[in-house]
């Protein structure tokens, strides 16, 4: 008589998800990509994109594992994936933008100052403000102005030529705080949502825009950004609305 003990077939090994956070960031990058938004076709889209744009052949199984969090691309391939999706490579790989510690500290200080200035202006104009508990959203404050609720993000600008700022993908009002020649005087510009969407570059959970302060105006791409003249109206007005029709060629 033959006696068989134990299981007659090997049990399946438990699936190990080592890169859950990477998979989440990859999904966010696809969600906010202008080309990869269709959820059911993202994996094949990314595979084809890597092949057509960079001549990098990857298997469907490899891409599937990226999206499930079972694995993630090697550094060289990670760079190509980030470029294909139009996101910051450091953010996609490890969850943080590619800046030094000192740069991050300075940016945090300036961002806090810009936020406090905007909050003060709203309060002095009769509005109410509150600050979110979760800073990771990128939203700096909540405002109630004339009974209307708004989420606000404020960034500090540079009056000397060109600079970049980043805003969260989902915010009602995006404000750039600009210093002036007078140390105690600042100007506030409200970047329209359509300008951010059309001229910005998506970098994961935030979108980066290139700004230029020229001829007393803040310009993004080829469009003038409205200046806030009253914190009862965060939409602001352009110089052309104040005076005459404005063209970028006028200040070239």
pLDDT tens string 184-217:
999 999 999 999 988 888 777 788 899 999 888 9
Same domain, 73 and 112: no
Return the closest-CA partner of residue 113 out of 174, 179, 16: 179
User: Does residue 176 surpass a pLDDT of 70?
Assistant: yes
236 and 116 fall within a common domain: yes
CB 177 within 8 A of CB 154: yes
pLDDT at 244 over 50: no
* 233 and 128 in a common domain: yes
DSSP 198: H
Computed over every residue of the chain, the mean pLDDT equals 83
Look at residue 16 in the predicted model and tell me its pLDDT: 75
Burial zone of 81 (CB within 10 Å; 0-12 exposed, 13-18 middle, 19+ buried): buried
* b/e burial code for range 217-240 (CB count within 10 A of at least 16 → b): bbbbeebbbbbbeebeebebebbe
**Residue 8 forms part of a structural domain:** no
* Mean pLDDT, residues 227-247 taken together: 77
Domain count, the chain: 2
Which carries the bigger pLDDT value, residue 107 or residue 76? 76
Claim to verify: residue 64 and residue 126 sit in the same structural domain: no
- How far apart are the two ends of the chain, measured CA to CA in Å? 97
27-31, 49-53, 118-122, 176-180: least confident range: 27-31
Where b means 16+ CB within 10 Å and e means fewer, 85-99 reads bbbbbbbbbeeebee
Residue 249, domain member (yes or no): no
> What pLDDT sits at residue 40?
61
How many residues are there in the chain? 252
Kindly state whether residues 63 and 148 are assigned to the same domain: no
**Alpha-carbon dihedral 50, 51, 54, 55, rounded to 10 degrees:** 150
Domain assignment of residue 213, given as a range: 102-243
Share above pLDDT 90 across residues of the chain, in percent, rounded to a whole number: 52
Q: What is the mean pLDDT of residues 83-105?
A: 73
Nearest to 186 by CA among 194, 172, 176, 199: 176
pLDDT at 245: 45
In angstroms, the CA 82 to CA 75 distance is: 11
Cα 89 → chain centroid: 13
Last residue in a domain, options 65, 94, 123: 94
* pLDDT value for 251: 44
Rg of the chain taking only CA atoms, in angstroms: 24
Q: What is the pLDDT of residue 10?
A: 46
Residues 128 and 159 in one domain: yes
Predicted local confidence at residue 13, as pLDDT: 58
27 shares its domain with 129? no
More confident residue, 241 or 220: 220
Co-location of 107 and 222 in the same domain: yes
Q: Pick the last residue of a domain from 94, 120, 136.
A: 94
Distance CA 131, CA 140 (A): 6
In a domain, 206, yes or no: yes
CATH of the domain at 54: 1.10.260.40
- Where is the domain boundary, 94, 123, 142? 94
């Amino acid at each position: 008589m033959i006696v068989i003990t134990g299981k007659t077939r090997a049990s399946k090994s438990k699936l190990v998800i080592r890169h859950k956070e990477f998979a989440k960031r990859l999904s966010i990058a696809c969600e906010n990509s202008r080309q990869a938004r269709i959820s059911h076709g993202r994996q094949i889209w990314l595979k084809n994109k890597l092949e057509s744009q960079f001549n990098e052949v990857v298997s469907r199984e490899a891409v599937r594992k990226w999206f499930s969090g079972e694995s993630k691309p090697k550094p060289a391939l990670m760079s190509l994936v980030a470029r294909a999706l139009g996101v910051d490579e450091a953010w996609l790989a490890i969850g943080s933008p590619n800046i030094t510690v000192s740069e991050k500290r300075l940016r945090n200080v300036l961002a806090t100052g810009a936020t406090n200035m905007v909050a003060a202006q709203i309060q002095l104009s009769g509005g109410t403000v509150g600050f979110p508990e979760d800073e990771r959203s990128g939203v700096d404050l909540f405002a109630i102005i004339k009974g209307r609720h708004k989420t606000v993000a404020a960034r500090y600008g540079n009056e000397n030529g060109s600079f970049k700022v980043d805003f969260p993908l989902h915010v009602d009002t995006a404000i750039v705080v600009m210093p002036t020649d007078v140390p105690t005087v600042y100007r506030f510009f409200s970047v329209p949502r359509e300008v951010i969407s059309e001229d910005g570059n998506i970098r994961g959970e935030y979108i980066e825009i290139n700004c230029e302060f020229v001829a007393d105006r803040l310009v993004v791409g080829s469009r003038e950004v409205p200046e806030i003249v009253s914190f009862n109206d965060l939409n602001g007005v352009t110089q052309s609305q104040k005076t005459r029709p404005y063209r970028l060629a006028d200040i070239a």
